[in-house]
Structure 1
Amino acid sequence: MPVPFELEVLHRDENLLVVDKPHFLSTTPRGRHVTETALVRLRRDLGLRELSPAHRLDRLTAGVVMFVIRPEHRSTYQSLFQDRAVRKEYEAVARHDPGLTLPRTVRSRIVKERGVMAAREVAGPPNSESRVELVEHRGGLGRYRLRPVTGRTHQLRVHMNALGVPILGDPVYPVVGDPAPDDFSEPLQLLARELAFTDPVTGREHRFTSRRTLRSWPAPELPS
């Protein structure tokens, strides 16, 4: 099923390609999402046949994704994420709970079983950590800044749900739904807002920021 939204290139140099991914587009081929992925589109449209992802972003999450252009640097850039050397910031919209004390750091043990849609929290030593802050609120909704320290599958969605404020548009948390594959009407209100790191190849300081806004919290209109 074609995803009717476009990728936007934020940065390109001899080593890296950074794009602003839309909701509903997978980063890489997986399951039933094979041709309609960011990787396949970019390889085809930009002629970068050896392009590979430095990390992955959930299909339902929009925002900044980084790819490696040169195969000899693939493991070097992927190690940035494995070694937690990238500063990641996300934005989410969820219900505002005046009784929820924020900011706070959420730590838990998350497991994700193959073939099971939802990840879950279990007893045991924490393997996930997220910083959750409330930026502003209005009309019963809150705009949250999320900073994951670790990168477990669905981590931010699980942690927000555990706090009692599941992210708007989430078809899995708190209840697993079954949206039609061609239903693009309710995007998950989660955006990978920013990636920042020191380039291990060139030594440059990078900071890449999404230009997208979340539909439930549009940018304010500028005065005419």
Structure 2
Amino acid sequence: MDDVYSPPQGDIAVLHEDHEILIVDKPAGLLSVPGKGAHLSDCLIARLEAAFPTVRLVHRLDRDTSGVMVFALTAFAQKHLGQQFEARKPRKTYLARVAGRLGPSSGTVDLPLIVDWPNRPLQKVCHETGKPAVTDWKVLKANDDETRVRLFPKTGRSHQLRVHMLALGHPILGDPFYAPDTVAAHSRLMLHAEELRLNHPETGRGMTFRAPAPF
């Protein structure tokens, strides 16, 4: 189900840096953290460690997803940011291109998710044992072939946006797991973490970081 891991090369775009936090624009196709096996050792945090030796993980993006990620540079920042994410305080905005015309112009998906064990790492909707998962969405532009949509996850389940869009009947284009028929026509998963709003761990001040979608 998975292809050969061939991560993109080149520099990682740094959006913000201070003595507590580091904000970067993760490229699509690069793991956030190492996978199992030496062939999956190349990842975002390993590359960042060369320039930022104290870098610490706070959250993850799927390998195929691009966009804004925050890393901590101190143990204090890691704990503070971790507590924010656990309390669902950061506001995350994604941009996606999905198959077909999505209507109405906005809405909410409230479907619990759980890992599909026989088909890991896929996730599935399960009303009996799934964990709560909620996504708001707003259409930006649509035609009969595809819809450009902004997604606002209220929870942070694995593959949440991908499964929620699939459940609506509009899978994200280029998704090798949930929309394999569209992969040949698209060079990547059409999902990008466009904006992240959080409170700075030291000052408590609200900060917003953006990276425009490359598609």
- Same fold by TM (over 0.5)? yes
Deviations 1:169-204 (A, max 9, x none): 001114599x9xxx9x72100000000122232122
Structure 1, unmatched stretches of 5+, are 215-224
Deviations 1:100-154 (A, max 9, x none): 3231111111001567131000123761000011111246221100000000000
Moved more, 54-63 or 200-209: 200-209
**TM-score, normalising length from structure 1?**
0.84
| Counterpart for residue 97 of structure 2 | 93
Give the aligned length.
Answer: 206
- The aligned amino acid for 1:80 is Q
| Counterpart for residue 107 of structure 1 | 110
Structure 2, unmatched stretches of 5+, are none
- The aligned amino acid for 1:189 is M
| Counterpart for residue 40 of structure 1 | 46
Greater fraction of residues in helix:
2
Contact 2:58 2:81 in 1 (8 A): yes
Residues 71-86 of structure 1 correspond to what in structure 2 (within 5 A)? Answer: 71-86=75-90
| Counterpart for residue 188 of structure 2 | 187
Contact 1:157 1:166 in 2 (8 A): yes
**TM-score, normalising length from structure 2?**
0.87
Distance 2:164 2:9 in 1: 28
Does 2:124 correspond to 1:123?
no
Deviation at 1:160, TM superposition (A): 0.3
Contact 1:64 1:210 in 2 (8 A): yes
- The aligned amino acid for 2:187 is E
Distance 2:66 2:58 in 1: 16
| Counterpart for residue 203 of structure 1 | 204
SS at match of 1:53: coil
> Measured at CA, do residues 138 and 174 of structure 1 come closer, stay the same or move farther in structure 2, by a change above 3 Å?
closer
- The aligned amino acid for 2:201 is P
- The aligned amino acid for 1:81 is F
CA RMSD of aligned residues (A): 2.3
| Counterpart for residue 70 of structure 1 | 74
Identical pairs, percent: 32
> Measured at CA, do residues 90 and 21 of structure 1 come closer, stay the same or move farther in structure 2, by a change above 3 Å?
same
Deviation at 1:97, TM superposition (A): 2.0
Distance 2:137 2:195 in 1: 15
| Counterpart for residue 160 of structure 1 | 165
- The aligned amino acid for 2:90 is V
SS at match of 2:214: coil
